[in-house]
Structure 1
Amino acid sequence: MLTITDAQINAWMALLLWPFMRIFGLFLADPFFSSGSISVTVRVGFTLLLTVLIAPVLPAMPNVPVLSAVGIMIAVNQMIIGLMIGMAMRLVFSAVEMAGHVAGLQMGLGFASFFDPQHNTSVPVLAQFLSLMTTLLFLAMNGHLIVLRTLIESFTQMPPTAEPLSARPLMLLVNQGAIIFTVGLQLSMPVVGSLLVTNLAVGVMTRASPQLNIFAIGFPIMLMIGMGSLYLTLPAMPHQVQLLIDGYTRFVNAMMLGLPPGAR
């Protein structure tokens, strides 16, 4: 007669529940998997499917009752780890969107915005364009598979444990947020630099010919130079996105290795 003990049931639940929480945390924060075009039902179903597929190769789970205070704390920790992994990729997309914000503002397109259902806010059209292009490059470079591989490797680097998490990875993630401004400015620098030279030229023209209507010719010139500079810099975007994805994997690996239980 087949008998199933409480310990076996708890082991099966732990094998699925805790990895499920980490994977679902990633799907809540990652800019691609958390897209508004993907319903919650699909996300939950895909999370469950991925959990079942990778469960046999995961490290041994802690011998802790799932429905206990410690078990719930482990589940919360797994959710936090998944959110951090997804948030690290969101910083990459935010950096590109920042480049669009800065370039669009310099080109005079700061007022050209529309409602973005994915962000639930008004987004400048140039930032939305760069965001969509980054998403396409992300998929073309199998970035979604890289994110999933990084997530699965995190179970080996930082397996579920009953020990409390360190505050160090959160600080690393906060410090990593600086790439939104540094990378965003670097990506927008060709457009900003060309428009700065254009502004100086228009200023000289205005001083040389005061009767020149700066408002009539300034905006078309700035828009034309800005669009031309953006067109010339677009071929370099695939390489930049590849560098950002490589930097993402290195950062997540470092963040997971910097997650020793109880380390401060």
Structure 2
Amino acid sequence: MNIPLDFAWIEATSLACVRITAFLAVAPPFSNGSIPMRIRAMLGVGLALAVSPVVTAGYVRLGTGVFLLALVGQAITGALLGFLVMLLFSAVQGAGSLIDVFGGFQLAQAYDPGIGINAAPFTRLFQMTAIVLLFTSGGYQLVLGGLFRSFDAVPVTGMIDLDRPTAALVGAAGQMLVSAVQIAGPLLIVLFLADVGLGLITRVAPALNAFALGFPIKIGLTLLLVGFVYAVLPGVVDVLAGDAAKLLLGVTR
């Protein structure tokens, strides 16, 4: 029995699978530790089959050595694109971390296997909320759409221009820091004013222990007002998903 095989189709789809899998291993929401790596690999294979009509158009078979180099190039391309998306969405995690620091929750750290770091309560809460919102709002579709359109600009036989990701990395890092402060900013101002008020009280009444009073007051203010910050997260995640899709297009264009 003779089963004909289209080796050009297999090679092109394999290269696309490597790029997509490397992207899924790094980019949120798929990079969360609660999603096993084998599930991400299976998803990468399925998505590669979906884009195979695009990546195989005009594909010419490569030699063994060139094909292996192309595999490495696709892994680097996918990982770079995924890292840019991860950096952009780190703004939500950074906002939670700022609230933990200023609100006095930083002492209650625990290892979170999902994000792979020691994190305080609001850091983990904001990160998990962002992941849930990405899946429920369809934001992950925008991110994957940006990845799929990268195949039009950077074919599976090529590699991304490293100058563009470097510039985009600097811009995304700055945007991440600014976004984190903007998300948590109103609550941080309240907590800062609470510190100023406690300092003035200490000057007026030195007998009062401002350090002992500060913890319960700041924790109470944080728990009372964090709901206002939490309520804006759906809109923030929606904007970040759109920015991530535009960033992927800008880097690969």
TM-score (norm 2): 0.90
CA contact (8 A) 1:84 1:173 kept: no
How many residues of Structure 1 are paired with residues of Structure 2 in the alignment? 252
Map Cα deviations across residues 125-150 of structure 1 (whole Å, 9 max, x no partner).
11001111111211121122222222
Residue 260 of structure 1: aligned partner: none
Distance in 2 (CA, whole Å) between partners of 1:174 and 1:150 is 16
CA contact (8 A) 1:15 1:61 kept: no
Cα deviation for residue 47 of structure 1 reads 1.6
Distance in 1 (CA, whole Å) between partners of 2:144 and 2:161 is 23
Residue 169 of structure 1: aligned partner: 164
Residue pairs, 1:4-83, within 5 angstroms: 4=4, 9-58=6-55, 60-65=57-62, 67-83=63-79
2:238 aligned partner, one-letter code: Q
Residue 142 of structure 2: aligned partner: 146
Residue 222 of structure 2: aligned partner: 226
Distance in 2 (CA, whole Å) between partners of 1:220 and 1:123 is 21
Distance in 2 (CA, whole Å) between partners of 1:254 and 1:242 is 19
Cα deviation for residue 29 of structure 1 reads 0.7
Cα deviation for residue 76 of structure 1 reads 1.6
Distance in 2 (CA, whole Å) between partners of 1:121 and 1:250 is 28
Tell me: CA distance 1:193–1:50, structure 2 relative to 1, closer, same or farther (3 Å).
same
Cα deviation for residue 59 of structure 1 reads 5.3
Distance in 2 (CA, whole Å) between partners of 1:121 and 1:240 is 23
Instruction: Give 5+ residue unaligned stretches, structure 1.
Output: 258-264
Residue pairs, 1:1-264, within 5 angstroms: 4=4, 9-58=6-55, 60-65=57-62, 67-162=63-158, 165-175=160-170, 176-257=172-253
Map Cα deviations across residues 115-170 of structure 1 (whole Å, 9 max, x no partner).
111233311111001111111211121122222222211111222235x5422123
Distance in 2 (CA, whole Å) between partners of 1:115 and 1:225 is 25
1:166 aligned partner, one-letter code: D
Cα deviation for residue 49 of structure 1 reads 1.9
Map Cα deviations across residues 190-225 of structure 1 (whole Å, 9 max, x no partner).
121111111111111221222222133221111112
CA contact (8 A) 1:104 1:127 kept: yes
Indicate the RMSD between aligned Cα atoms, in angstroms: 2.1
CA contact (8 A) 1:94 1:180 kept: yes
CA contact (8 A) 1:29 1:86 kept: yes
1:188 aligned partner, one-letter code: A
Instruction: Give 5+ residue unaligned stretches, structure 2.
Output: none
Distance in 1 (CA, whole Å) between partners of 2:229 and 2:42 is 40
Distance in 2 (CA, whole Å) between partners of 1:220 and 1:2 is 76
**What secondary structure, in the 3-state scheme, does the structure 2 residue paired with 1:122 have?**
strand
CA contact (8 A) 1:96 1:131 kept: yes
Distance in 1 (CA, whole Å) between partners of 2:229 and 2:75 is 39
2:35 aligned partner, one-letter code: I
Map Cα deviations across residues 4-61 of structure 1 (whole Å, 9 max, x no partner).
5xxx643122231111111111111112222222222222222222222221233525
**What secondary structure, in the 3-state scheme, does the structure 2 residue paired with 1:45 have?**
helix
CA contact (8 A) 2:84 2:169 kept: no
**What secondary structure, in the 3-state scheme, does the structure 2 residue paired with 1:60 have?**
coil
Cα deviation for residue 3 of structure 1 reads 8.4
Tell me: CA distance 1:28–1:3, structure 2 relative to 1, closer, same or farther (3 Å).
closer
